[in-house]
Protein backbone atom coordinates (compact mmCIF):
# COMPACT_ATOMS: atom_id res chain seq x y z
CA UNK A 1 0.00 0.00 0.00
CA UNK A 2 1.21 3.50 -0.85
CA UNK A 3 0.20 6.50 1.26
CA UNK A 4 0.23 10.13 0.26
CA UNK A 5 -0.50 12.99 2.66
CA UNK A 6 -2.46 15.91 1.28
CA UNK A 7 -1.10 18.91 3.19
CA UNK A 8 -3.91 21.35 3.89
CA UNK A 9 -3.13 22.57 7.41
CA UNK A 10 -5.80 21.48 9.87
CA UNK A 11 -7.70 19.86 7.01
CA UNK A 12 -4.81 17.57 5.97
CA UNK A 13 -5.69 13.96 5.13
CA UNK A 14 -4.05 10.78 3.82
CA UNK A 15 -4.72 8.92 0.56
CA UNK A 16 -4.10 5.19 0.79
CA UNK A 17 -3.52 3.57 -2.61
CA UNK A 18 -3.39 -0.17 -3.33
CA UNK A 19 -5.27 -3.27 -4.38
CA UNK A 20 -7.98 -4.73 -2.12
CA UNK A 21 -8.17 -1.80 0.33
CA UNK A 22 -11.94 -1.74 0.13
CA UNK A 23 -12.34 -4.66 2.51
CA UNK A 24 -9.75 -3.47 5.04
CA UNK A 25 -11.98 -1.79 7.63
CA UNK A 26 -8.97 -1.33 9.92
CA UNK A 27 -7.82 1.43 7.53
CA UNK A 28 -11.12 3.25 8.03
CA UNK A 29 -11.84 2.76 11.72
CA UNK A 30 -9.19 5.15 13.13
CA UNK A 31 -10.89 8.00 11.25
CA UNK A 32 -14.38 7.49 12.70
CA UNK A 33 -15.60 9.63 15.62
CA UNK A 34 -17.95 6.83 16.53
CA UNK A 35 -18.49 3.33 15.00
CA UNK A 36 -21.30 4.64 12.82
CA UNK A 37 -21.23 5.30 9.07
CA UNK A 38 -23.56 5.91 6.16
CA UNK A 39 -22.28 4.51 2.86
CA UNK A 40 -23.55 6.41 -0.17
CA UNK A 41 -23.23 4.61 -3.50
CA UNK A 42 -25.19 4.15 -6.74
CA UNK A 43 -27.08 1.31 -8.39
CA UNK A 44 -24.11 0.37 -10.62
CA UNK A 45 -21.27 0.38 -8.08
CA UNK A 46 -23.44 -0.76 -5.16
CA UNK A 47 -24.09 -4.29 -6.45
CA UNK A 48 -20.32 -4.75 -6.94
CA UNK A 49 -18.78 -3.33 -3.78
CA UNK A 50 -21.38 -2.37 -1.16
CA UNK A 51 -21.67 -5.86 0.35
CA UNK A 52 -17.92 -6.52 0.84
CA UNK A 53 -17.32 -3.01 2.26
CA UNK A 54 -20.30 -3.34 4.62
CA UNK A 55 -19.26 -6.83 5.74
CA UNK A 56 -15.75 -5.62 6.50
CA UNK A 57 -17.01 -2.65 8.53
CA UNK A 58 -19.62 -4.66 10.41
CA UNK A 59 -17.03 -7.28 11.31
CA UNK A 60 -15.06 -4.40 12.84
CA UNK A 61 -18.06 -3.37 14.93
CA UNK A 62 -19.19 -0.44 12.79
CA UNK A 63 -22.92 0.14 12.27
CA UNK A 64 -23.65 0.81 8.59
CA UNK A 65 -26.56 2.65 6.92
CA UNK A 66 -26.51 2.14 3.13
CA UNK A 67 -27.92 4.83 0.81
CA UNK A 68 -28.13 3.83 -2.86
CA UNK A 69 -28.65 6.57 -5.47
CA UNK A 70 -29.58 6.27 -9.13
CA UNK A 71 -26.41 6.33 -11.29
CA UNK A 72 -25.43 9.10 -13.66
CA UNK A 73 -24.60 12.78 -14.10
CA UNK A 74 -28.29 13.42 -14.91
CA UNK A 75 -29.06 12.59 -11.27
CA UNK A 76 -26.47 14.96 -9.82
CA UNK A 77 -29.21 17.27 -8.66
CA UNK A 78 -31.10 18.41 -5.59
CA UNK A 79 -33.70 15.64 -5.74
CA UNK A 80 -31.02 12.95 -5.52
CA UNK A 81 -29.06 14.88 -2.89
CA UNK A 82 -32.22 15.00 -0.84
CA UNK A 83 -32.38 11.20 -0.90
CA UNK A 84 -29.14 11.29 1.09
CA UNK A 85 -30.55 13.73 3.68
CA UNK A 86 -33.75 11.71 3.99
CA UNK A 87 -31.75 8.49 4.43
CA UNK A 88 -29.64 10.10 7.15
CA UNK A 89 -32.61 11.57 8.99
CA UNK A 90 -34.64 8.36 8.79
CA UNK A 91 -31.65 6.54 10.31
CA UNK A 92 -31.52 9.28 13.02
CA UNK A 93 -27.91 10.01 12.06
CA UNK A 94 -26.23 12.38 14.51
CA UNK A 95 -23.36 14.80 13.91
CA UNK A 96 -20.89 12.13 14.93
CA UNK A 97 -21.73 9.90 11.95
CA UNK A 98 -19.14 9.58 9.17
CA UNK A 99 -20.30 9.47 5.56
CA UNK A 100 -18.51 7.24 3.07
CA UNK A 101 -18.68 7.91 -0.68
CA UNK A 102 -18.37 4.64 -2.62
CA UNK A 103 -18.33 5.28 -6.36
CA UNK A 104 -17.14 7.64 -9.07
CA UNK A 105 -17.06 11.41 -9.33
CA UNK A 106 -20.81 11.95 -9.15
CA UNK A 107 -21.20 9.91 -5.95
CA UNK A 108 -18.14 11.66 -4.50
CA UNK A 109 -19.39 15.14 -5.39
CA UNK A 110 -22.84 14.53 -3.97
CA UNK A 111 -21.74 12.71 -0.84
CA UNK A 112 -19.13 15.36 -0.10
CA UNK A 113 -21.68 18.14 -0.52
CA UNK A 114 -24.24 16.29 1.60
CA UNK A 115 -21.57 15.83 4.29
CA UNK A 116 -20.73 19.54 4.12
CA UNK A 117 -24.40 20.44 4.71
CA UNK A 118 -25.87 17.74 6.95
CA UNK A 119 -26.33 19.36 10.36
CA UNK A 120 -23.87 21.98 9.04
CA UNK A 121 -21.09 19.49 8.46
CA UNK A 122 -20.19 15.89 9.30
CA UNK A 123 -16.94 14.06 8.45
CA UNK A 124 -16.65 12.05 5.24
CA UNK A 125 -14.38 9.47 3.64
CA UNK A 126 -13.95 8.88 -0.09
CA UNK A 127 -13.60 5.44 -1.67
CA UNK A 128 -13.35 6.37 -5.37
CA UNK A 129 -13.96 3.41 -7.70
CA UNK A 130 -13.17 4.97 -11.09
CA UNK A 131 -9.80 6.07 -12.45
CA UNK A 132 -11.11 9.60 -13.01
CA UNK A 133 -12.25 9.94 -9.40
CA UNK A 134 -9.07 8.34 -8.04
CA UNK A 135 -6.75 10.73 -9.87
CA UNK A 136 -8.98 13.79 -9.93
CA UNK A 137 -11.88 14.31 -7.55
CA UNK A 138 -10.27 12.50 -4.61
CA UNK A 139 -7.98 15.51 -4.24
CA UNK A 140 -9.20 19.07 -4.10
CA UNK A 141 -12.23 19.13 -1.89
CA UNK A 142 -14.58 20.32 -4.61
CA UNK A 143 -18.12 19.07 -4.05
CA UNK A 144 -21.25 20.12 -5.93
CA UNK A 145 -24.55 19.37 -7.59
CA UNK A 146 -25.84 20.72 -10.87
CA UNK A 147 -28.61 23.31 -11.35
CA UNK A 148 -30.78 23.22 -14.48
CA UNK A 149 -29.03 26.48 -15.49
CA UNK A 150 -25.45 25.34 -14.87
CA UNK A 151 -23.17 22.45 -13.95
CA UNK A 152 -21.60 22.33 -10.45
CA UNK A 153 -23.20 25.66 -9.57
CA UNK A 154 -24.18 24.65 -6.03
CA UNK A 155 -21.54 23.16 -3.79
CA UNK A 156 -18.81 23.59 -1.23
CA UNK A 157 -15.09 23.25 -0.73
CA UNK A 158 -15.02 20.39 1.78
CA UNK A 159 -12.13 18.02 2.47
CA UNK A 160 -12.47 14.30 3.29
CA UNK A 161 -10.82 12.81 6.39
CA UNK A 162 -9.38 9.94 4.34
CA UNK A 163 -9.31 8.65 0.76
CA UNK A 164 -9.02 4.93 -0.03
CA UNK A 165 -8.09 4.47 -3.69
CA UNK A 166 -8.53 0.74 -4.33
CA UNK A 167 -7.04 0.13 -7.79
CA UNK A 168 -8.64 -3.33 -7.70
CA UNK A 169 -11.99 -1.66 -8.35
CA UNK A 170 -10.66 -0.38 -11.70
CA UNK A 171 -10.81 -3.93 -13.08
CA UNK A 172 -14.60 -3.68 -13.35
CA UNK A 173 -14.48 -0.27 -15.02
CA UNK A 174 -15.69 -0.09 -18.66
CA UNK A 175 -12.70 0.52 -20.95
CA UNK A 176 -14.14 3.82 -22.24
CA UNK A 177 -14.16 5.14 -18.67
CA UNK A 178 -10.64 3.90 -18.06
CA UNK A 179 -9.49 5.79 -21.16
CA UNK A 180 -11.40 8.90 -20.03
CA UNK A 181 -9.54 8.74 -16.72
CA UNK A 182 -6.25 8.50 -18.59
CA UNK A 183 -7.02 11.86 -20.21
CA UNK A 184 -6.68 13.52 -16.80
CA UNK A 185 -3.58 11.43 -16.06
CA UNK A 186 -1.95 12.70 -19.25
CA UNK A 187 -3.06 16.24 -18.43
CA UNK A 188 -1.41 16.11 -15.00
CA UNK A 189 1.90 15.03 -16.55
CA UNK A 190 1.68 17.71 -19.24
CA UNK A 191 1.12 20.59 -16.81
CA UNK A 192 3.73 19.64 -14.22
CA UNK A 193 6.12 16.76 -14.95
CA UNK A 194 7.84 15.99 -18.28
CA UNK A 195 9.40 12.83 -16.82
CA UNK A 196 5.92 11.43 -16.24
CA UNK A 197 5.02 12.12 -19.86
CA UNK A 198 7.89 9.81 -20.75
CA UNK A 199 6.71 7.29 -18.12
CA UNK A 200 3.26 7.29 -19.71
CA UNK A 201 4.73 6.78 -23.18
CA UNK A 202 6.52 3.70 -21.84
CA UNK A 203 3.71 2.26 -19.69
CA UNK A 204 0.49 3.02 -21.53
CA UNK A 205 -0.12 -0.58 -22.57
CA UNK A 206 0.22 -1.79 -18.98
CA UNK A 207 -2.15 0.89 -17.74
CA UNK A 208 -4.75 -0.02 -20.36
CA UNK A 209 -4.44 -3.64 -19.19
CA UNK A 210 -5.08 -2.37 -15.64
CA UNK A 211 -1.78 -3.68 -14.27
CA UNK A 212 -2.24 -3.17 -10.53
CA UNK A 213 1.32 -2.12 -9.72
CA UNK A 214 1.51 0.39 -12.56
CA UNK A 215 -1.96 1.68 -11.75
CA UNK A 216 -1.11 2.24 -8.09
CA UNK A 217 2.04 4.12 -9.13
CA UNK A 218 0.02 6.24 -11.56
CA UNK A 219 -2.67 7.07 -9.01
CA UNK A 220 0.00 8.07 -6.52
CA UNK A 221 1.89 10.49 -8.73
CA UNK A 222 -1.33 11.93 -10.10
CA UNK A 223 -2.68 12.60 -6.62
CA UNK A 224 0.71 14.07 -5.70
CA UNK A 225 0.65 16.52 -8.61
CA UNK A 226 -2.94 17.51 -7.95
CA UNK A 227 -2.31 17.82 -4.20
CA UNK A 228 0.66 20.10 -4.80
CA UNK A 229 -1.38 22.37 -7.04
CA UNK A 230 -4.39 22.39 -4.71
CA UNK A 231 -2.36 22.96 -1.53
CA UNK A 232 -0.92 26.08 -3.14
CA UNK A 233 -4.38 27.39 -4.02
CA UNK A 234 -7.18 25.65 -2.12
CA UNK A 235 -10.07 27.87 -3.19
CA UNK A 236 -9.07 28.29 -6.83
CA UNK A 237 -7.81 31.84 -7.08
CA UNK A 238 -4.84 31.24 -9.39
CA UNK A 239 -2.46 28.33 -9.96
CA UNK A 240 -5.19 25.73 -9.51
CA UNK A 241 -6.54 26.89 -12.86
CA UNK A 242 -3.63 24.96 -14.48
CA UNK A 243 -5.72 21.84 -13.85
CA UNK A 244 -8.12 23.21 -16.44
CA UNK A 245 -5.72 22.52 -19.32
CA UNK A 246 -7.93 21.47 -22.24
CA UNK A 247 -11.08 22.05 -20.16
CA UNK A 248 -12.33 25.30 -21.68
CA UNK A 249 -12.08 23.82 -25.20
CA UNK A 250 -13.49 20.58 -23.79
CA UNK A 251 -16.39 22.44 -22.21
CA UNK A 252 -17.31 23.76 -25.66
CA UNK A 253 -17.34 20.18 -27.02
CA UNK A 254 -19.45 18.87 -24.13
CA UNK A 255 -21.93 21.75 -24.38
CA UNK A 256 -22.00 21.81 -28.18
CA UNK A 257 -22.60 18.07 -28.49
CA UNK A 258 -25.05 17.97 -25.58
CA UNK A 259 -23.87 16.63 -22.23
CA UNK A 260 -23.31 12.88 -22.18
CA UNK A 261 -22.49 12.52 -25.90
CA UNK A 262 -18.75 12.81 -25.22
CA UNK A 263 -17.32 11.60 -21.93
CA UNK A 264 -15.69 14.44 -20.00
CA UNK A 265 -12.25 12.85 -20.45
CA UNK A 266 -12.77 12.48 -24.20
CA UNK A 267 -13.67 16.16 -24.51
CA UNK A 268 -10.67 17.08 -22.37
CA UNK A 269 -8.40 14.98 -24.61
CA UNK A 270 -9.47 16.78 -27.79
CA UNK A 271 -9.35 20.07 -25.88
CA UNK A 272 -5.81 19.35 -24.73
CA UNK A 273 -4.69 18.96 -28.35
CA UNK A 274 -6.26 22.35 -29.13
CA UNK A 275 -4.46 23.93 -26.17
CA UNK A 276 -1.18 22.37 -27.33
CA UNK A 277 -1.76 23.57 -30.88
CA UNK A 278 -2.50 27.09 -29.64
CA UNK A 279 0.63 26.97 -27.46
CA UNK A 280 2.61 26.15 -30.61
CA UNK A 281 0.99 29.00 -32.53
CA UNK A 282 1.91 31.35 -29.65
CA UNK A 283 5.53 30.24 -30.02
CA UNK A 284 5.86 28.03 -26.93
CA UNK A 285 5.70 24.44 -28.19
CA UNK A 286 7.34 22.97 -31.30
CA UNK A 287 5.30 21.11 -33.92
CA UNK A 288 7.05 17.96 -32.66
CA UNK A 289 5.82 18.67 -29.12
CA UNK A 290 2.24 18.90 -30.38
CA UNK A 291 2.64 15.62 -32.23
CA UNK A 292 3.97 14.04 -29.04
CA UNK A 293 0.81 15.09 -27.17
CA UNK A 294 -1.37 13.74 -29.99
CA UNK A 295 0.49 10.40 -30.08
CA UNK A 296 0.18 9.91 -26.32
CA UNK A 297 -3.55 10.59 -26.25
CA UNK A 298 -3.98 8.39 -29.30
CA UNK A 299 -2.11 5.55 -27.61
CA UNK A 300 -4.57 5.83 -24.71
CA UNK A 301 -7.37 5.41 -27.24
CA UNK A 302 -8.62 8.96 -26.77
CA UNK A 303 -9.93 11.32 -29.46
CA UNK A 304 -7.37 13.84 -30.70
CA UNK A 305 -9.71 15.85 -32.89
CA UNK A 306 -12.86 17.71 -31.83
CA UNK A 307 -16.23 17.67 -33.55
CA UNK A 308 -16.84 20.54 -36.00
CA UNK A 309 -19.73 22.02 -33.97
CA UNK A 310 -20.45 24.27 -36.95
CA UNK A 311 -17.13 26.09 -36.91
CA UNK A 312 -14.56 27.72 -34.63
CA UNK A 313 -16.76 30.76 -33.97
CA UNK A 314 -19.33 28.48 -32.34
CA UNK A 315 -16.58 27.00 -30.16
CA UNK A 316 -15.61 30.50 -29.01
CA UNK A 317 -19.23 31.22 -28.14
CA UNK A 318 -19.48 28.12 -25.93
CA UNK A 319 -16.10 28.86 -24.35
CA UNK A 320 -17.28 32.33 -23.38
CA UNK A 321 -20.13 30.76 -21.42
CA UNK A 322 -17.74 28.64 -19.38
CA UNK A 323 -17.68 30.05 -15.83
CA UNK A 324 -13.89 30.01 -15.95
CA UNK A 325 -14.09 32.93 -18.36
CA UNK A 326 -14.32 36.04 -16.17
CA UNK A 327 -15.38 39.46 -17.49
CA UNK A 328 -15.63 38.27 -21.06
CA UNK A 329 -11.85 37.84 -21.49
CA UNK A 330 -10.76 34.41 -22.75
CA UNK A 331 -8.20 33.23 -20.21
CA UNK A 332 -6.78 29.89 -21.23
CA UNK A 333 -4.33 27.39 -19.83
CA UNK A 334 -1.44 26.88 -22.26
CA UNK A 335 1.82 24.92 -22.21
CA UNK A 336 5.09 26.80 -21.97
CA UNK A 337 6.72 23.44 -22.67
CA UNK A 338 5.89 19.78 -22.11
CA UNK A 339 5.52 19.54 -18.33
CA UNK A 340 4.82 23.23 -17.60
CA UNK A 341 1.49 25.05 -17.82
CA UNK A 342 0.68 28.74 -17.49
CA UNK A 343 -2.36 31.03 -17.61
CA UNK A 344 -2.65 33.36 -20.59
CA UNK A 345 -5.17 35.82 -21.94
CA UNK A 346 -2.80 36.93 -24.69
CA UNK A 347 -4.16 34.74 -27.49
CA UNK A 348 -6.21 36.66 -30.04
CA UNK A 349 -9.58 35.31 -31.14
CA UNK A 350 -8.07 34.68 -34.60
CA UNK A 351 -5.27 32.61 -33.07
CA UNK A 352 -7.71 30.59 -30.95
CA UNK A 353 -9.97 30.00 -33.96
CA UNK A 354 -6.97 28.91 -36.01
CA UNK A 355 -5.95 26.36 -33.39
CA UNK A 356 -9.50 25.00 -33.14
CA UNK A 357 -9.83 24.65 -36.91
CA UNK A 358 -6.52 22.78 -37.10
CA UNK A 359 -7.78 20.28 -34.53
CA UNK A 360 -11.34 19.58 -35.73
CA UNK A 361 -12.67 16.81 -37.88
**Binding residue numbers for Zn(2+):** 184, 247, 264
Out of 72, 155, 301, 307, name the contact with a second copy by CB under 8 A.
Answer: 155
Q: Which is nearer to a second copy, 13 or 118 (CB)?
A: 118
Phi/psi at 207 (nearest 5 deg)?
-65, -40
Q: How far is the CB of 141 from a second copy (least distance, A)?
A: 9
**240 in active site:** yes
Q: Check if the beta carbon of residue 39 is closer than 8 Å to that of residue 65.
A: yes
Catalytic residue among 247, 254, 266, 281: 247
What is the secondary structure of 85-101 as a DSSP string?
HHHHHHTT--TT-EEEE
**323 in active site:** no
Residue 94: how many CB atoms within 10 A of its CB? Answer: 12
Distance, in Å, from the CA atom of 209 to the CA atom of 214, rounded to the nearest integer, reads 10
- Strand runs labelled E in 262-354: 332-337, 340-344
Q: Does residue number 345 form part of the binding site for a second copy (CB under 8 A)?
A: no
User: x/- binding map, residues 187-216, to a second copy, per CB under 8 A?
Assistant: ------------------------------
**16 in active site:** no
**C-alpha dihedral sign at 334, 337, 338, 340:** negative
DSSP 262: S
The interface with a second copy within residues 225-284 (CB under 8 A) comprises 235
Q: Which is nearer to a second copy, 143 or 222 (CB)?
A: 143
DSSP 137: I
- Please choose, from the candidates 170, 52, 33, the residue with its C-alpha nearest in 3D space to the C-alpha of residue 99: 33
Q: Does residue number 147 form part of the binding site for a second copy (CB under 8 A)?
A: yes
Residues involved in catalysis: 120, 142, 184, 226, 236, 240, 244, 247, 251, 264
Residue numbers at the binding site for a second copy (CB under 8 A): 78, 82, 85-86, 89-90, 94-96, 116-121, 142-144, 147, 149-150, 153-157, 235, 323, 326
Amino acid sequence: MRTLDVALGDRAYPIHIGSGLLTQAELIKPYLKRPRVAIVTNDVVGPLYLAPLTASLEAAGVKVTPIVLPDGEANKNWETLNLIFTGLLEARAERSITMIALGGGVVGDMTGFAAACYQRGVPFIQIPTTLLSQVDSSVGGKTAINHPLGKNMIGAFYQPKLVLADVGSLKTLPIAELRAGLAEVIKHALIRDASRVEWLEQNMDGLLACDQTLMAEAVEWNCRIKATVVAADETEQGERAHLNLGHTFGHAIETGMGYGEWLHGEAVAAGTVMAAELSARMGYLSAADVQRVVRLLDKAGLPTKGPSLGGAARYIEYMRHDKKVADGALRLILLKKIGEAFISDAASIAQIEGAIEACCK
